[in-house]
A = this chain, B = another copy of it.
Amino acid sequence: MAIRVTIWNEFRHEKRVPEAMEQYPDGLHACVGAFLSKDEEIEVTLAALDDEANGLPDEVLNNTDVLMWWGHMCHNLVPDDLVERIYKRVVEQGMGFIAMHSAHFSKPFRRLTGMPCALTWGDNMNGIVWNVMPNHPIAKGIPLNFGIYEELYSEPFSIPTPDELIFATWFESGNIFRGGVTYYRGLGKIFYFHPGHETCPSFHNPIVQKILTNAVHWAAPNATGEGCLVGDVHQTTAVTDVLFGTKE
Whether A52 is near chain B, meaning CB under 8 Å from some CB there, is no
| B-chain residues with CB within 8 Å of residue A176 when the two chains form the complex | 128, 130, 168, 170, 176
CB distance from A27 to the nearest CB of B (A): 24
Q: How many residues of A contact B (CB 8 A)?
A: 75
The A108-140 residues at the B interface (CB cut-off 8 A) are 111-116, 118-122, 126, 128, 130, 132-137, 139-140
Chain B interface: which of A2-10, A33-41, A54-62, A224-232? A224-232
The A5-48 residues at the B interface (CB cut-off 8 A) are none
Contact between B243 and A133, CB atoms less than 8 A apart: no
Contact between B222 and A139, CB atoms less than 8 A apart: yes
The A122-168 residues at the B interface (CB cut-off 8 A) are 122, 126, 128, 130, 132-137, 139-141, 144-147, 152, 154-158, 160-161, 163, 165, 168
Contact between B183 and A160, CB atoms less than 8 A apart: yes
Whether A238 is near chain B, meaning CB under 8 Å from some CB there, is yes
